[in-house]
A = this chain, B = another copy of it.
């Protein structure tokens, strides 16, 4: 399996996990299955879409390759069905979501970097790719956007740290090694945040 296939497989896992978190956000909101699928799609594909539209990086990946959209739809439907009969594996999902965040953020940073935008824009795009889908999900189910609030453990912050690492060492470390170590940095800090309950200082 070469690097491109590996990334593609990892992307699909990320899409699937994000779609499941989208579907699960519908719990207790009296949504029907279509609403659940919409939430899954928006959570999984929203961040990358906003990034590509802002950067004029057309065509958007999922528009020209059906696989992403199908992955999101099927994941959301499966989550819709499974949740009626099985207990939700919260810890497993948090770890998978952390993996999705790491991957999406650094793929977003790579894309922005390849378009030659400034460093701060690269970091912002990493953050948007990883987090914007979840923000739209929260707006649609009328919850407070989680990543803006003190209650959430560090989430976007992990993506930002990883992206800063990526930008700082861009000229010093070989491409793939850099991508993988940045992703690991996000993954580890996110896990530490979850299991150590790390937060940012609250605004008055």
Contact = CB atoms under 8 A, between A and B. Distances in A.
B145 A200 contact: no
Interface in A102-150: 117-121, 124, 135, 139-140, 142, 144-145, 147-150
A133 to B, nearest CB: 14
A64 interface: yes
Contacts of A140: 135, 139, 145, 148
Contacts of A119: 66
A90 interface: no
A27 interface: yes
B202 A32 contact: yes
Interface residues of A, number: 59
Interface of A: 26-36, 38-39, 41, 49, 53-56, 58-60, 62-66, 69-70, 73, 80, 83-84, 117-121, 124, 135, 139-140, 142, 144-145, 147-151, 156-157, 160, 199-204
Given A31-B202, A70-B120, 8 more contacts: A31-B148, A34-B157, A34-B160, A35-B149, A41-B124, A53-B53, A62-B121, A84-B204
